[in-house]
Amino acid sequence: MTHARLTPLAQSLPASVPFVGPETQERARGAAFVARLGANENVFGASPMARAAMCEADAWMYGDPESHDLIAALSVHLRTDPAHIMVGEGIDGLLGYLVRLCVGRGDAVVTSDGAYPTFNYHVAGFGGVLHKVPYKDDHEDPMALFTKAAEVDAKLVYLANPDNPMGSWHDGDTLIRALGALPDGCLLVLDEAYIDCAPPGTAPDLPFDDPRLVRMRTFSKAYGLAGARVGYALGHPDLITAFHKVRNHFGMNRAAQAGALAALHDDAHLAHVLDQIDTARRRISEIALDNGLAPLPSAANFVTVDCGRDGAFAKAVLDGLIARGVFVRMPFAVPQNRCIRISCGTPENLDAFAAALPDALAEAAQQG
């Protein structure tokens, strides 16, 4: 019998993924969730214009390999040159391409301990060596990240602003000042997935072709197209051109391209969604406070809630919510794992969360 001959690197890696999906959990529990509040999806839905465009797209054809129309519209929307933009299969796909371009076996990469794990997954997949720094007061610490990058001669530093899983954020001026400490030859990967949900001034006021950083943005959150997988990178033209060396040229499907293009033009729907997100963040915070928990300030489409004890207690609360049909997630690393994270949802979703939380807390308290 002939067997696939995996590389030594592939043989050394675990057969795991960064997240266990809600569908997997539903199959395991034998029932659907009443409220899906763990994946930071936009439950308020995509623009009607986007849905119509996706239905009308000629899906028998491959998508435009250059995503020309979408990139042209983004360049107008962002007031920048199309040469600064690369469209890809969500931020996750773009992170994979970027790591493939920049990281070889043994190359150093820096991130925060407990930050978005999909980036770490890509680094491991290409043999990079990941170095981590702790959060500071539930915020990623730019100066600590850049100091560590200088110590280990890192090729990439990953920083999400606003942050997932904590929902915290830095204003753009703070990041601009910190960039002075980024070592030469190191690229800042600035994940701005939640930038549409954040206060004005959160994005650094820097040209998109600044060679020190590449920004990652998405249509998955505020635009409600998580299932379509449309993200884009903003960076120096030399880096954007390099993506063409390794990307899947037919990775973007035509319906997704059409949906993103239409969504970009529906400002009224985006404003409505952002208002719904703000309302939901306030409701989640109220529910947490009503149950003696501490909601953390959030600039994302979720609220992270401090359960007031350790990670074991927070995990018991999470398990109790899941057992009651409410899907939520929690941070992985100490001390952030004292928290649970609740995505913004409809009033009905949050009613279900409010109903399940007291019993989940009581059950968790009995266990420990």
Q: What is the CATH number of the domain that holds 276?
A: 3.90.1150.10
Cis ω for the linkage preceding 347 (within 30 of 0): no
CB 224 within 8 A of CB 273: yes
User: Domain for residue 156, yes or no?
Assistant: yes
What mean pLDDT is predicted for residues 194-223?
Answer: 98
DSSP for 161-214 reads SS-TTT-----HHHHHHHGGGSPTT-EEEEE-TTGGGSPTT-S----TT-TTEE
CB 257 within 8 A of CB 230: yes
What mean pLDDT is predicted for residues 153-176?
Answer: 98
Least confident of 6-10, 150-154, 198-202: 6-10
CA distance 295 to 262: 35
Which amino acid is it at 247?
A: R
The rounded mean pLDDT for the chain is 97
Domain stops at, among 209, 233, 265: 265
Distances (CA, A) of 38 to 152, 213, 341, 344: 35, 29, 7, 9
Domain stops at, among 242, 265, 288: 265
- The pLDDT score that the predictor gives to residue 231 is 98
Reduced to 3 states (helix: H, G, I; strand: E, B; else coil), residue 348 is helix
User: Domain for residue 163, yes or no?
Assistant: yes
Reduced to 3 states (helix: H, G, I; strand: E, B; else coil), residue 41 is coil
346 has a pLDDT exceeding 60: yes
352 has a pLDDT exceeding 80: yes
The whole domain housing 303 covers 17-44+268-367
Domain stops at, among 230, 265, 300: 265
- The pLDDT score that the predictor gives to residue 19 is 85
CA atoms within 13 A on the CB side of 315: 9
Least confident of 16-25, 220-229, 319-328, 331-340: 16-25
User: Domain for residue 317, yes or no?
Assistant: yes
Are residue 70 and residue 179 in the same domain, yes or no? yes
Q: Which pLDDT band, with edges at 50, 70 and 90, does 3 fall under?
A: confident
Are residue 172 and residue 150 in the same domain, yes or no? yes
Q: Which pLDDT band, with edges at 50, 70 and 90, does 177 fall under?
A: very high
Are residue 154 and residue 169 in the same domain, yes or no? yes
CA distance 212 to 367: 49
- The pLDDT score that the predictor gives to residue 4 is 87
- The pLDDT score that the predictor gives to residue 2 is 62
Are residue 59 and residue 194 in the same domain, yes or no? yes
Reduced to 3 states (helix: H, G, I; strand: E, B; else coil), residue 141 is coil
CB 312 within 8 A of CB 368: yes
What mean pLDDT is predicted for residues 16-39?
Answer: 92
Nearest CA to 301 out of 90, 112, 19, 39 is that of: 39
Reduced to 3 states (helix: H, G, I; strand: E, B; else coil), residue 300 is coil
User: Domain for residue 124, yes or no?
Assistant: yes
User: Domain for residue 1, yes or no?
Assistant: no
- The pLDDT score that the predictor gives to residue 262 is 98
* Per-residue model confidence as pLDDT tens digits over 56-106: 999 999 999 999 999 999 999 999 999 999 999 999 999 999 999 999 999
**CATH classification of the domain holding 171:** 3.40.640.10
Are residue 153 and residue 300 in the same domain, yes or no? no
Are residue 214 and residue 177 in the same domain, yes or no? yes
User: Domain for residue 4, yes or no?
Assistant: no
User: Domain for residue 12, yes or no?
Assistant: no
Distances (CA, A) of 328 to 25, 75, 304, 345, 362: 11, 36, 10, 11, 17
368 has a pLDDT exceeding 80: no
Are residue 28 and residue 76 in the same domain, yes or no? no
What mean pLDDT is predicted for residues 145-155?
Answer: 98
Are residue 279 and residue 247 in the same domain, yes or no? no
> Percentages helix, strand, coil for the chain, rounded to the nearest 5?
45, 15, 40
What mean pLDDT is predicted for residues 191-198?
Answer: 98
CA distance 196 to 216: 12
CB 168 within 8 A of CB 162: yes
- The pLDDT score that the predictor gives to residue 18 is 82
* Per-residue model confidence as pLDDT tens digits over 212-257: 999 999 999 999 999 999 999 999 999 999 999 999 999 999 999 9
CA distance 305 to 287: 10
Are residue 25 and residue 101 in the same domain, yes or no? no
DSSP class of 153? T
Are residue 98 and residue 209 in the same domain, yes or no? yes
Q: How many domains, in total, are found in the chain?
A: 2
Q: Which two tokens stand for residue 309?
A: 């004890």
